[in-house]
Amino acid sequence: MHNTLFLAAAILYAACALLDSKRGALISGVTALAWAVHGAALWSDAFAPNGLRIGFAIMLSAALWVSVGAYWIENRNFALDGLRRLVMPCACAVALLPLVFPGAVMPLQNQSSAFGWHVAVAVLAYSTLTIAAFHAVLMALQESRLHARAVPAGGTWLGGALDQLPALLTMEKLLFRLIWIGFVLLSLTVLSGVVFSEQLFGRALRWDHKNVFALLSWILFAALLAGRYLRGWRGKTALRFTLAGFATLALAYVGSRFVLEVVLHRGIA
């Protein structure tokens, strides 16, 4: 069932990417439908009988699901059609990833009832900060294009999409909104993992690579938000901290899962 839903979501995302920008109401409706179908696919796939399916493909698919939801909400306040042309093709491709890389099922019989919530909050944190990193890359490309005076408007598909993005100040507001949401979720993930390790995992906290990199990522994002509030950090400084925090977070889970599943062909670790 979930395979059909993933395929349907990918088709709807592709249709949304191809719609004319003048058909705003139709774009909004198709986006909402695609997002709902994608969410149903993730729910039915992740929550397997007596277990929880995890893997890098599920994580990336969830990240784009969050991205589409954020785009749909923010598009009501800002003109974000340029983001649609970039986000929807990515969402289409990533919606299909769980069909190719299904991940592995983690048994929940002997796990705490809070374990599922811990994992769900962690996935949302990773997903939101992944979108923040994607947003930061777009801002860097947008700024580079603004400074390249010889580049004509439009041109390539990417150039046309970048030209339709909101002003950099608006993009920066959206970036820090995403970072704040992701930071709160990451804080809950780290705090619950540290304080309730015995209840969640049945063992004392282990300072393995996942926990170390997750904590380091939290420190980087905390430093960024503190620097933003106290010293007005923005521009390249904000982008560097965002990408550094995301890269560290990716090493904590998604990167290791990718190596285990795709390179080493191993399951849960």
Burial class (CB in 10 A: 0-12, 13-18, 19+), 64: buried
Query: How is residue 237 written in tokens?
Result: 């400084």
pTM of the prediction? 0.75
Count how many residues are written for the chain: 269
Sign of CA dihedral 241, 245, 248, 251: negative
Q: What is the pLDDT along the chain (269 residues), one digit of tens a residue?
A: 678 999 999 999 999 988 887 887 898 899 999 999 999 998 888 776 667 777 778 878 888 888 888 888 877 777 677 778 888 998 999 999 888 887 777 766 666 666 767 777 887 888 888 888 888 888 888 888 777 655 555 556 666 677 777 788 888 888 898 899 999 999 988 887 776 555 545 555 566 667 788 889 999 999 999 999 898 888 888 888 998 988 888 777 665 555 555 544 555 44
